[in-house]
Structure 1
Amino acid sequence: MPTSCAASSLTSAPYRAGWIHYTNVAPILDPLVLPPTVTALTGVPTQMNAALLEGRVDIANISVAEFIRNADRLAALPDFSVSVLGQVYSVNLFHTCPLPELQRVALTAQSATSVALLEVLLRGWGLSPELVRDEGTAQELLARGYDGVLRIGDSALREWYEVVGPLGENASMTRLPHRDGGITVTDLSEEWYRLTGQPFVFAVWAYRKDAPPPPELLRAMRDARREGLGSLGEISQRHAAKLKLPRRVVQHYLWNFRYHLEEPDRRGLQRFAELLRPDHAELEWGPEITP
Structure 2
Amino acid sequence: MTNHQPSTLDPQLPYRAGWIHFTNVAPILDPLVLPPSVTAITGVPTEMNEALLTGRVDIANISAVEFIRHADTLAALPDFSVAVLGPVYSVNLFHTCSLPDMRRIALTSQSAMSVALLEVLLREWGLSPVLERAEGEAEELLAAGYDGVLRIGDSALKEWYGVVGPFTDETIVPEIPQTGRGITVTDLAEEWFKVTGRPFVFAVWAYRKDNPPPAELLKAMRSARRSGIGHLAEVSARHALKLGLPEDVVQHYLWNFRYHLEEADRQALRLFADRAVPGHAELCFGPCE
Range into which the TM-score falls when normalised by the shorter chain? over 0.9
Q: Which runs of 5+ in 2 are unaligned?
A: 1-5
Question: SS where residue 174 of structure 1 aligns?
Answer: helix
The answer as to whether partners of 1:44 and 1:110 remain within 8 angstroms in 2 is: no
* Structure 1 moving runs of 4+ over 3 Å: none
Partner of 2:52 in structure 1?
52
Question: SS where residue 171 of structure 2 aligns?
Answer: coil
Partner of 1:121 in structure 2?
121
Partner of 2:12 in structure 1?
12
The answer as to whether partners of 1:273 and 1:280 remain within 8 angstroms in 2 is: yes
Aligned residue runs from structure 1 range 217-232, under 5 A: 217-232=217-232
Partner of 1:167 in structure 2?
167
Aligned residue runs from structure 1 range 54-203, under 5 A: 54-203=54-203
Which segment drifts farther, 166-175 or 231-240? 166-175
TM (normalized to structure 2)?
A: 0.95
- Cα distance in structure 2, aligned partners of 1:172 and 1:11: 54
Question: SS where residue 139 of structure 2 aligns?
Answer: helix
- Cα distance in structure 2, aligned partners of 1:57 and 1:269: 24
1:222 alignment partner AA: R
Question: SS where residue 117 of structure 1 aligns?
Answer: helix
Pairing 1:287–2:287 present: yes
Deviations 1:21-71 (A, max 9, x none): 000000000000001110111111111000000110000000011000000
Q: Which runs of 5+ in 1 are unaligned?
A: 1-5
- Cα distance in structure 2, aligned partners of 1:174 and 1:21: 28
The answer as to whether partners of 2:85 and 2:198 remain within 8 angstroms in 1 is: yes
**Identical aligned residues as a percent:** 71
TM (normalized to structure 1)?
A: 0.95
What is the total number of aligned residue pairs between the two structures?
Answer: 283
- Cα distance in structure 1, aligned partners of 2:117 and 2:206: 19
Q: Pick closer, same or farther for the CA change 1:224–1:9 going to 2, 3 Å.
A: closer
- Cα distance in structure 2, aligned partners of 1:9 and 1:257: 33
Deviation at 1:109, TM superposition (A): 2.9
Partner of 1:3 in structure 2?
none
- Cα distance in structure 2, aligned partners of 1:110 and 1:13: 33
- Cα distance in structure 2, aligned partners of 1:186 and 1:91: 9
